Amino acid sequence: MSVDSIWMTTAFILTLGVIVSYLIGEKFPPFKVISYLFIGIAAGYAASVAIFQVIYPRLIIPLMYPSFGYSRLASTAAIILALLLLFKVSPRLSKIGNIATGIIVGATAGVIIGGAVLGTVFSQAKAAVSLFNPELGTQPGEFVDALFMLIGTVSTLVYFQFGGIRRPGKPVDRPKATKLLAGLGKFFIAITLGALFAGVISAAMSVLAERMGFLVRVIQSWIH
């Protein structure tokens, strides 16, 4: 038996095991074995990528060959922060690792917020407004699409605005216009989530169809 036949047979068994486990239930013993195998392979792959594409070229090489233009100081600081994170394992010494954790959380939050504001909010607002530029020669149908996009963008942003007005003797409440736009934004969010869910279902069905076709092709190859 060739190597390709061995891999094809292994893929056939794993695919059939996953499909049968999904139909019977996750308590089916082979499902746990396949899950552990998948998690182990994924963890090994992630570890190899981290070692050979991050740790070795960005940490080990700068320490060993600082004359190649690498910063030994930056690598030393990274090692110190990594060692500080190890203290988070111990409940009594976990406070020592708070410095490294704070740096990681702060840097990550800055990147995420900056990307969300500059890459999503501003770009989405600019795209919605630019469709009303008369110099672009927008057609009537395109104008309606642009109007819906603008209303959807504004109402969705208003939906996530939770500020309100405090009146004497009454709880804090948002203005009526804000509540109206927020309700409209909730409608657009529901449509978007529904479309995303439909996309996930269709993608899952496509994968299932591809795997079923794979099983049929393997069986046909065995028969012939």
Tens digits of per-residue pLDDT, 171-201? Answer: 667 777 888 888 898 999 999 999 999 999 9
Is 176 within 8 Å of 144 (Cβ atoms)? Answer: no
- pTM as predicted: 0.56
91 phi and psi, to 5 degrees?
A: -60, -35
Strand, coil or helix: what is 71?
Answer: coil
SS3 assignment, position 132: coil
Mean pLDDT over residues 92-108, rounded? 88
Domain boundaries, the chain: 1-70, 132-224
Q: What is the residue-wise DSSP string for 98-112?
A: HHHHHHHHHHHHHHH
Task: For the beta carbon of residue 115, count every other beta carbon within 10 angstroms.
Answer: 10
